[in-house]
Amino acid sequence: MTVTESAPRPTATFREGAFGPARELVCRECGTTRELGPHYACHECFGPLEIGYDFGTVTREQIEAGPANIWRYKALLPVPDDIESSPNLEPGFTRLLEAKNLAAQLGLTRLWVKDDSTNPTNSFKDRVVAIALSAARELDAKVFACPSTGNLANAVAAAGARAGIRTVVFIPSNLETPKQVNSAIYTENLVAVDGTYDDVNKLASEIAGEEDGWAFVNVNVRPFYAEGSKTLGYEIAEQLGWRLPDQIVIPVASGSQLTKVHKAFQELITLGLVEEKPYRIFGAQATGCSPVSAAFKSGHDVVRPVRPDTIAKSLAIGNPADGVYVLDIARQTGGTVEDVSDDEVRDAIVLLARTEGIFTETAGGTTVAVLKKLTETGQLDPTLETVVINTGHGLKTLDAVTDRVGARATIAPTYDAFVAAEIV
């Protein structure tokens, strides 16, 4: 094979095997490739780049012999083979719980909750951050940073602390107090920006362009970051006994997670790790920030940005980077994208807690509420096996339900008072 490209190959400066089976960056729009590195936009068409791989043979046995965290899938990720030896929070392999009570309540035959609230910083973001951290290390970044709607900042700050790398995290200043504290506890450098998430994101891109040595997990190392979401798809398939579900409901902020769960399912099929079968992917948004749902419903191929106004702040991205890909995947697989009101989100948080003992944040409330709506409107087939993803923990968004739940009665410490209160 002759190499015709005259440009130097910066990959040569990386450690041998730094990115495992990853070979190159590929433009999702025009297919142009370039070398692995801190790049996120195609130099031909400005389309988003994603990781291209050369997978060798990967077997179920090899994966099952791995650790009970995302590194069991390292043969499918852009990480070095010795990834387990670098300090990180070891996220993943969270529980997949059969939700019989919620299924009965909604009239579904078989329902599972993939509960990512049990990750180290209590959201699915620990998965994506672990991959971004590995890339940042291999790229010799000096600062580990992100613009965030909350959970990402928590995960970056914690992972950076453990890895001993300087962190700077940027959030919209109107974020819930628990999410601010959950970042500030791990880092001195929490920066609150007066603006929406989309303003924060723009600022981050500017800093990434001006400053050297900054790895913004979801900006200049986004192709690596995004691959972390694939592990959700791998785990669901493995935990179902190496099969794909029939239907899956996934929350949509930037749309990256939904896109990569689909990529994961496709890879598993291609590698022969699961049998090929049809599955439908549904996207969930809150009505107060539902640009993708709006585009889906009106049959548009473009996603028109909105200014978010919803309690589901972790999903409040008005200009979602992967919105158009979410539309494609929902349409291709026979799914839909649906949205629900803040009140429906609150009700669904309580519903999940009271049926399954799982306390989810507003993003999970959105997803469960959308599951309910999809079932009621007949968009989802109740006889098919369904998975719903809970992406974050309710303790981070307590305010959302403090008006909904509380003490049934306040009584004197006497048996008479208890009887008078008619609790049972």
Ligand X SMILES: *Cc1c(COP(=O)(O)O)cnc(C)c1O
Contacts to ligand X by CB under 6 A: 123, 125, 151, 251-257, 314-315, 361, 363, 391-392
Tokens of 60: 């179920």
- Distance from C-alpha of 291 to C-alpha of 252, rounded to nearest angstrom: 10
Tokens of 10: 């910066």
Report in angstroms how near the CB of residue 173 gets to ligand X at its nearest.
18
Report in angstroms how near the CB of residue 374 gets to ligand X at its nearest.
17
105 Cα distance to chain centroid: 27
187/259 with CB nearer ligand X: 259
45/68 with CB nearer Zn ion: 45
148/247 with CB nearer ligand X: 148
| CB neighbour class for 271 (10 Å; exposed up to 12, middle 13-18, buried from 19) | middle
80/224 with CB nearer ligand X: 224
AA identity, residue 339: D
- Distance from C-alpha of 80 to C-alpha of 206, rounded to nearest angstrom: 30
Report in angstroms how near the CB of residue 53 gets to ligand X at its nearest.
20
What is the DSSP-derived secondary structure letter of residue 372?
A: H
Tokens of 388: 């719903």
Report in angstroms how near the CB of residue 252 gets to ligand X at its nearest.
5
Q: What is the DSSP string of 119-161?
A: STTSBTHHHHHHHHHHHHHHTT-SEEEEE-SSHHHHHHHHHHH
Considering only residues 15, 33, 45, 209, which one is a binding residue for Zn ion as defined by CB under 5 A? Answer: 45
Tokens of 274: 């699961």
Contacted entry of ligand X, Zn ion, none for residue 251, CB cut-off 5 to 8 Å set by kind: ligand X
Contacted entry of ligand X, Zn ion, none for residue 44, CB cut-off 5 to 8 Å set by kind: Zn ion
Paired strand residues for 385: 110
Report in angstroms how near the CB of residue 117 gets to ligand X at its nearest.
8
Contacted entry of Zn ion, ligand X, none for residue 151, CB cut-off 5 to 8 Å set by kind: ligand X
Task: Write out the H or E segment, with its range, that includes residue 112.
Answer: strand 110-115
Contacted entry of ligand X, Zn ion, none for residue 324, CB cut-off 5 to 8 Å set by kind: none
Edge to edge, what strands does the sheet with 190-193 contain?
190-193, 166-172, 143-147, 214-216
Paired strand residues for 382: none
Contacted entry of Zn ion, ligand X, none for residue 338, CB cut-off 5 to 8 Å set by kind: none
Report in angstroms how near the CB of residue 392 gets to ligand X at its nearest.
3
Of 183, 175, 117, the residue nearest 152 (C-alpha): 183
58/294 with CB nearer ligand X: 294
Report in angstroms how near the CB of residue 223 gets to Zn ion at its nearest.
13
Report in angstroms how near the CB of residue 225 gets to ligand X at its nearest.
9
Contacted entry of ligand X, Zn ion, none for residue 125, CB cut-off 5 to 8 Å set by kind: ligand X
Report in angstroms how near the CB of residue 256 gets to Zn ion at its nearest.
18
Distances (CA, A) of 328 to 7, 276, 283, 331, 367: 35, 19, 11, 5, 19
Question: Per-residue x/- mask for Zn ion, residues 15 to 34, rule CB under 5 A?
Answer: ------------x-xx-x--
29/35 with CB nearer Zn ion: 29
134/151 with CB nearer ligand X: 151
107: CB partners within 8 A, 6+ apart: 375, 382
Contacted entry of ligand X, Zn ion, none for residue 293, CB cut-off 5 to 8 Å set by kind: none
Tokens of 269: 């099929």
256/386 with CB nearer ligand X: 256
Size of the residue set binding Zn ion (CB under 5 A)? 8
89/315 with CB nearer ligand X: 315
Task: Write out the H or E segment, with its range, that includes residue 167.
Answer: strand 166-172
Total number of residues shown for the chain: 424
Contacting residues toward Zn ion, per CB under 5 A: 27, 29-30, 32, 42, 44-45, 47
